[in-house]
């Protein structure tokens, strides 16, 4: 039994708490009962990505103090996991003790689908779905963490679900955090492309495993195509599991 600590990104905590609930359900199904530190806030990515490294460092120190002793830190967002894995060590180039703690922690951080499939070796959660789904590859998951096969295995484990390809599935949806509001023209246009590709795929549901992309693609769909759905894979799996949620 691993000691798994839930890292719930702030956007999930505040806007999409069901993703974190589904994460707990899946972990318990896979035989792991996670712990949750209530003191967690934000990993610091917004500050880091906007150049506010001093502030990002405050977030990083808070995070490292809180999660530093956990055997595994697991997040339903690969992008936030990347902040810990790659940016924390960068932040502490000039502080050896914090650098050591940051690098040690970095090695123990996982994204949800990666942890379920690669570590726990579970890809069948007994879910069933009669329809077609397609998958959006999120940038940081795909290119920074090399995650693509894992969510696809989880989708393959869903009885009846047919995974159909989507044009440009590895292309960015245009979220990019504050980019989405600062460069709204470009961001909207990218979201529109993504949605058009989704519609053209003929899928009933667009699946993804990154909350940021969900806010963006889901937000665009909600306005332009309210009948079409985008879902985090964790929610899709739990909603289509035969037994009641734990």
Partner 1 sequence: MKIRTEQFNELAAVEIDKARARPFLKMVPEFMYRIRNAGMPTLPDPPAAQKYAAAVRAEVVSRLPDLLEEFERNATANGAKVIWARDAKEANDFIVGLAKERGVKTVIKGKSMISEELGLNDAFKANGIEPWETDLGEFIAQQMDLPPFHIIAPAMNITVEEVRDCFMDKAGMKTPTVDPVELGYAARVFLRDKFHRAEMGVAGVNIAVAETGTVINVENEGNIRFSKSAPRILVSVMSMEKCIPTMQDAVDMLRVLIRNCTGQRISAYVSMESGPRKQDELDGPDELYIVILDNGRSQIYQDEGVREVLRCIRCAACVNICPVYRQIGGYAYGGAYSGPMGQTLMPLLFGLDRTKDLYRACTLCGACASVCPAGIDHPKLFLTYKAKDVQGDPQFRTGKRPAREAIAFKLWGMGVASSRLWNLGARLFRPFFNWNAHDGKVSSMPGPLGAWFRKRDLPKMAAKPFRDRWEDIKRRKP
**Should residue 68 be labelled a site residue for partner 1 when binding is judged by CB under 8 A?**
no
**Should residue 128 be labelled a site residue for partner 1 when binding is judged by CB under 8 A?**
no
- Cβ atoms of 128 and 160 within 8 Å: the answer is yes
| Structure-token pair, residue 128 | 């069933």
- DSSP, collapsed to helix, strand or coil, labels residue 93 as coil
Measured from the CB atom, is 107 or 181 closer to partner 1?
A: 181
From first CA to last CA, the distance across the chain in angstroms is: 19
- CA atoms within 13 Å, Cβ hemisphere of 234: 29
**Should residue 200 be labelled a site residue for partner 1 when binding is judged by CB under 8 A?**
no
**Should residue 239 be labelled a site residue for partner 1 when binding is judged by CB under 8 A?**
no
- Cβ atoms of 125 and 157 within 8 Å: the answer is yes
**Should residue 185 be labelled a site residue for partner 1 when binding is judged by CB under 8 A?**
yes
Measured from the CB atom, is 28 or 159 closer to partner 1?
A: 28
- Cβ atoms of 101 and 63 within 8 Å: the answer is no
**Should residue 148 be labelled a site residue for partner 1 when binding is judged by CB under 8 A?**
no
**Should residue 242 be labelled a site residue for partner 1 when binding is judged by CB under 8 A?**
no
Instruction: Give the Cα separation of 23 and 221 in Å (integer).
Output: 24
* Interacting residues with partner 1 (CB under 8 A): 8, 12-17, 20-21, 24, 28, 33, 36, 38-42, 44, 46-55, 58-59, 61-62, 139-140, 143-144, 170-172, 174-177, 179-193, 215-216, 218-220, 222-224, 246
């Amino acid at each position: 039994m691993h000691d798994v600590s839930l890292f719930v990104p702030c956007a999930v905590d505040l806007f999409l708490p069901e993703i974190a609930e589904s994460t707990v359900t899946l972990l318990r199904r896979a035989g792991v009962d996670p712990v949750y530190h209530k003191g967690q806030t934000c990993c610091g990515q917004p500050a880091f990505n906007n150049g506010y490294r001093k502030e990002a460092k405050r977030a990083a120190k808070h995070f490292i103090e809180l999660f530093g002793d956990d055997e595994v830190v697991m997040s339903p967002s690969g992008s936030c996991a990347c902040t810990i894995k790659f940016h924390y060590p960068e932040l502490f180039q000039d502080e050896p003790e914090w650098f050591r703690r940051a690098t040690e922690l970095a090695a123990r951080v996982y994204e949800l689908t990666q942890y379920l499939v690669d570590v726990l070796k579970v890809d069948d959660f007994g879910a069933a779905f009669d329809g077609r789904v397609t998958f959006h590859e999120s940038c940081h998951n795909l290119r920074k963490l090399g995650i693509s096969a894992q969510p696809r295995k989880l989708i393959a484990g869903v009885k009846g679900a047919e995974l159909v390809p989507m044009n440009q599935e590895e292309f960015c949806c245009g979220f990019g955090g504050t980019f989405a509001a600062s460069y709204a023209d470009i961001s909207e246009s990218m979201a529109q492309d993504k949605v058009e590709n989704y519609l053209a795929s003929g899928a009933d549901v667009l699946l993804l495993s990154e909350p940021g992309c969900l806010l963006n693609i889901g937000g665009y769909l909600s306005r332009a195509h309210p009948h079409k759905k985008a879902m985090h894979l964790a929610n899709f799996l739990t909603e289509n599991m035969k037994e009641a949620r734990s």
